[in-house]
């Protein structure tokens, strides 16, 4: 989308947007820290539809840094280029346009009232966006530091297969691996659901079900002693909820997302049409997920004989609203699972758990 405004007004907007991005970036670069006992020189990356998150070790702790996986196209001009450059906002020139990507895209988009676009869709490179690969490479180059030594281990998350996604996952994984290898790492992929098991279930000998409910999809993996027994994905996630609610209420998706992230609470009755629709589509997502999990367990003949019930861990941005856990639990009880579940809980840090699991997997290779 090209933003066309009177030059003075547009220049002012661009300057304001740049200032907002700077303050956003300085908040983001503080990262969040969690304790870990592991030590090493490895890196974990969650390459998600909405966000790319890097997990690194800094002494006894993990540090997380993220960039929004989005971009916006604006008209190329010397003025805009110099604003972007001065403020260190990621961008590149393509013909008459400038592509602004990463965190800057979202803030720029909001300020200029233009929709951001995504280089990924349903967990993989979006074939409908010609610049997808270049944008993801740009975000990765910005986020991922040079390897501490040549061939340092790096794990990046990939989705599990959904009904029709196998071939696109192969391509997505190969393109990203090649790029990360070229940066000097020894890169390998990890299934996103398995990363949740690695992140959260050390005390259970890495045995249980890891679920990551993100923006583009939900990923699920059942692991036994860290070995995946099955994994799958469904292509319903936060984007599906936002778009569905927007289409039935007449709101725009961005506003729905804002309400969902800032105000929505399962524990109280819906206060308006948007909250009512959010409940309906969240329930639909949870039901689809739980039913597919139940069906997959039932049809998997090679499930090892577990000597005790196993846990389910819920992670990803879509599990964040208050009351999500209880809602999910009620659907599991209703469905009567074919295996015994010991407990269901949220991941300690749902937005960073995939990257943390990828880091643990990378460190285990050292």
Ligand X SMILES: Nc1ncnc2c1ncn2[C@@H]1O[C@H](COP(=O)(O)OP(=O)(O)OP(=O)(O)O)[C@@H](O)[C@H]1O
Which option in Mg ion, ligand X, none does residue 237 bind, with CB closer than 5 to 8 A by kind? ligand X
Draw the binding track, 111-150, toward ligand X (x: CB under 6 A; -: no contact). Answer: ------------x---------------------------
In terms of Cα–Cα distance, which of 320, 44, 340 is closest to 199?
Answer: 44
217 binds ligand X (CB under 6 A): yes
Site string for Mg ion, 209-228 (x = CB under 5 A): ---x-x--------------
| 193: contact with Mg ion by CB under 5 A | no
CB of 51 to ligand X, least distance (A): 4
Tokens of 221: 């993996």
Candidate list 99, 321, 356, 362; residue touching ligand X; CB under 6 A: 321
Piece in contact with ligand X (CB under 6 A), picked from 93-101, 111-119, 172-180, 213-221: 213-221
Task: Give one DSSP letter per residue of 267-299, joined into a string.
Answer: TS---SHHHHHHHHHHHHHHHHHHHHHHHHHHH
SS (H, E, C) 56-68: EEECCEEEEEEEE
Instruction: Centre a 10 Å sphere on the Cβ of residue 211 and count the other Cβ atoms it contains.
Output: 26
Task: Work out whether 214 is an interface residue with ligand X (CB under 6 A).
Answer: yes
Site string for ligand X, 289-308 (x = CB under 6 A): --------------------
Asked whether 196 and 347 are in contact (CB, 8 A), the reply is yes
Counting contacts by CB under 6 A, is residue 261 touching ligand X?
Answer: yes
Q: According to the binding rule CB under 6 A, does residue 317 interact with ligand X?
A: yes
Distance CA 366, CA 35 (A): 20
Considering CB under 6 A, how many residues would be counted as binding ligand X? Answer: 23
Interaction between residue 255 and ligand X (CB under 6 A): no
Residue length, the chain?
Answer: 366
CB 144 to Mg ion: min, Å: 17
| Residue 147 touches which member of ligand X, Mg ion, none, C-beta under 5-8 Å by kind | none
Q: Which residue is nearest to Mg ion (CB)?
A: 214
Among 216, 245, 282, 286, binds ligand X (CB under 6 A): 216
Q: Where are the alpha helices (DSSP H) in the chain?
A: 7-29, 78-86, 103-112, 132-143, 166-182, 192-200, 238-249, 253-262, 273-299, 324-335, 353-363
Minimal CB distance residue for ligand X: 238
List beta partners, residue 344.
312
Q: How far is the CB of 269 from Mg ion (least distance, A)?
A: 30
d(CA 105, CA 120): 15
Integer Cα distance of 333 and 43 in angstroms: 38
Chain positions 14 to 53 lying near Mg ion, rule: CB under 5 A, are: 48
165 interacts with ligand X by CB under 6 A: no
Tell me whether residue 224 or residue 266 sits nearer to ligand X (CB atom).
266
Give, to the nearest 10 degrees, the angle between helix 7-29 and helix 103-112.
140
Query: Which of 50, 131, 189, 199 forms a contact with ligand X (CB under 6 A)?
Result: 50
For tokens 């990890």, the residue is 190
Nearer to Mg ion, 237 or 311 (CB): 237
Half-sphere exposure for 255 (CA within 13 Å, toward CB): 10
What is the C-alpha to C-alpha distance for residues 149 and 140, in angstroms, rounded to an integer? Answer: 18
The smaller minimum CB distance to ligand X, of residues 21 and 256, is found at 256
Site membership for ligand X, residue 243 (CB under 6 A) = no
- Do the bridges between strand 341-346 and strand 218-224 make them parallel or antiparallel, or are there none, so unpaired? unpaired
**CB 274, CB 256: distance < 8 Å:** yes
Closest separation in Å from C-beta 306 to ligand X: 27
Indicate the residue among 190 and 290 with the shorter CB distance to Mg ion.
190
Given the rule CB under 5 A, which residues bind Mg ion? 48, 212, 214
Given the rule CB under 6 A, which residues bind ligand X? 46, 48-51, 123, 212, 214-217, 237-239, 257, 260-261, 316-318, 320-321, 351
């Amino acid at each position: 989308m090209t933003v066309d405004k009177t030059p003075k007004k547009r220049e002012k907007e661009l300057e304001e947007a740049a200032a907002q991005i700077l303050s956003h970036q300085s908040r983001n670069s503080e990262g969040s820290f969690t304790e870990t006992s592991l030590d090493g020189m490895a890196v974990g990356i969650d390459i998600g539809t909405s966000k790319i998150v890097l997990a690194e070790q800094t002494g006894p702790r993990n540090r997380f840094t993220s960039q929004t996986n989005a971009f916006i196209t604006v008209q190329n001009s010397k003025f805009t280029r110099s604003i972007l450059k001065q403020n260190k906002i990621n961008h590149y020139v393509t013909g008459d346009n400038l592509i602004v990507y990463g965190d800057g895209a979202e803030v720029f988009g909001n300020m200029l009232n233009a929709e951001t676009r995504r280089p990924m869709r349903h967990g993989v490179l979006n074939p409908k966006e010609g610049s997808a690969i270049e944008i993801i490479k740009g975000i990765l180059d910005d986020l991922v530091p040079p390897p501490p030594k040549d061939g340092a281990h790096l794990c990046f998350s990939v989705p599990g297969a959904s009904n029709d996604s196998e071939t696109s996952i192969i391509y997505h994984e190969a393109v990203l691996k090649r790029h990360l290898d070229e940066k000097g790492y020894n890169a390998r992929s990890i299934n996103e659901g398995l990363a949740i098991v690695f992140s959260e279930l050390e005390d259970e000998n890495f045995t249980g079900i890891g679920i990551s409910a993100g923006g583009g999809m939900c990923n699920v993996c059942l692991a036994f002693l860290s070995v995946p027994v099955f994994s799958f994905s469904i292509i319903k996630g936060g984007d599906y909820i936002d778009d569905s609610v927007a289409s039935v209420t007449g709101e725009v998706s961005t506003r729905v997302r804002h309400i969902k992230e800032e105000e929505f609470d399962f524990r109280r009755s819906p206060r308006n049409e948007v909250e009512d629709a959010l409940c309906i589509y969240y329930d639909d997502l949870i039901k689809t997920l739980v039913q597919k999990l139940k069906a997959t367990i039932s049809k998997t003949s090679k499930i090892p004989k577990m000597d005790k019930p196993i846990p389910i861990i819920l992670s990803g941005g879509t599990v964040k609203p208050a009351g999500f856990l209880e809602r999910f639990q009620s659907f599991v009880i209703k469905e009567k699972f074919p295996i015994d579940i010991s407990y269901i809980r949220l991941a300690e840090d749902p937005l960073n758990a995939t990257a943390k699991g990828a880091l643990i997997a990378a460190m285990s290779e050292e």
